[in-house]
Structure 1
Amino acid sequence: MTPTPELIAWLLDTDPALRWQVERDILDEDASIWQSTRALVTREGLGAALLSHQDADGQWAGGSYFPAGYFGSPEADAPGQPWIATTWSLKDLREWGVEASALGDTAARLDANSRWDYDDLPYWGGEVDVCINAFTLASGAWLGADISQLVRWFDEHRLADGGWNCEAEEGDSVRSSFHSTLNALRGILAYEKSTGDTSLRDARKSGEEYLLSRRLMYRASTGALVAPFVAEFLYPNRYRYSALATLDYFRDAAQWDRSAPDERMTDAVHLVRSQRQADGTWMQSRRLPGRTWIDIDVAAGQASPWLTMIALRVLRWWDQDRGSE
């Protein structure tokens, strides 16, 4: 699947946070080119705007996962949640390619000043929700924080079927969740790539097997589609599972592990292909409700440059392994 010149021009006419990934993952540009574009992320566009909202104490919006004053406010009764606090801001900056050095002593400031909404726990120790801990594991590794306590948490809280579930901590589930497992895998892989520590690799592989055994899409009990969210592609997807987000993870993991795509991903790949529009783009399914610092991508029903880039690099990876387009 070769993008047209018009589609490439459209993808390149975007924010540096997206453009450098197009140059690297779609165009195979020399590293000097995409690294030069990546360096712009802290100085202009989305990255610079988000960095400008950081508080003097190292946080964003005065809070770890929710902004200061959220609980008990009218906003707490509104649909969704705000996406402006520290954890979400760090996640975006890291995924946009911002170098840790651009955040200076942020790790130390968060260690001194940020506490979780749950039990007032210290930031870099994590809390009880696997998705929150996964985001923190990845960001801590990126910023060089002491996350040794958090590293151990993932093995200790892995479920018998190989994955994770945020509801397990409340005793509400002994089965893994697609959402929770994907977020755990993303966090563990980011940790491994940042630090070189492979102590969580067995846990990562068991989580991958959990998803692969369900072909990324299906219930183990009935073989039916696990839920409509599998086919809803959105950016930023924050915490949500989809076939596209999961394939993008497996692409990243396969390149890190130097392994070939697993055939059990075939149905998910077909689903991604089926959502390609006639002009070669992928559409935003919807946007998650909640307050943001900045608009990152398009409204629902519009062609999304972010989703198009992600879909193109996933299919390129899949097809190249098979010597086809």
Structure 2
Amino acid sequence: MTVKARLFLAAIAASMLVGWSIEESFGFGGLINDMAIILIIPFILMLIFAVRRSKVSNWQQIFLACGVPLGLLWVVVGFHGLTLGEGESSAIYAASAIGFLTILYGGIVSAIGYFAMDTRKIESNRLSLKVSVCFVILLVGLVLWAYESAFGIYAAMSMPAFSLIVACMISALWFKGKMTLTAAAETSLFASMFTLIVGLIFWFHEEGDSPEALSMMLCGLSYGLLIYISLFIFSLSAKDRQFLDVGRANWHWLEITSFLVFMLFAPETIREMKDSEESESVRVNELNQLELRLADYEDRITELERQRDEQ
């Protein structure tokens, strides 16, 4: 048996062990969501079909470049919806789980692309510019459709975020003199980070009561991710075939999104949950004691009324 065959069997055995342990502990229901799959997989498969038909790139490169950013884009859109919704706070846990599933699916897609990448084979053809434009329009349309169907199209608009990103792009062009796709992708990352920090400053300045600052942060991150994914798609049509450092960019986008999530949507810590449980237990005991005292008072009143009637 060859080494590859042994590794393949070992991978299957490890996967079965992981599946069994998850099924025994949690069940697979929490790891499967139709909407999260639909938002990630079809777009990537269509892009792979287009690039393979034109012999532009390999499927591994598309997996690596698009998996994580798409997952992050949809989780940001979902969290934006949480801030606009009027449901109970308990619904945040279920919605957050679905949102993180998009990151999980996107991360798995990018990981498959990374480990399956064949660096020896580099395609030199270009994707038609019309096809690239169609994919960008499709992506933007999907995001706008998600906003329109759930929260209204105006929720996707933040003038402070838009103006900051435009200002960063113009500044980068002024400093560099020429804006390449690589420079534009890095600028979109910096602009999203800058928008997030400025939004957090206003958020804390208003003591956490500033919908405008919240919209600025979330829209800024959405705009940056949209720009980055669009630039990667356009890089497939570039004459000089500028290859973006998608692996490094994925890590940076993950860091920015994680920072946003844990600054604004961080769940309760274990200590806070324990304190809450203890407080709830104390409150229940106090209510029970009050009910007992109330019942005792009612018995006394009944006894006094009976004695009065006898007199």
The bucket for the TM-score relative to the shorter chain is under 0.3
Given the two structures, how large is their TM-score scaled by the length of structure 1? 0.24
Given the two structures, how large is their TM-score scaled by the length of structure 2? 0.25
Q: Which has the higher contact order (CA 8 A, sep 6+)?
A: 2
The higher radius of gyration belongs to: 2
- Which protein has the bigger helix share? 2
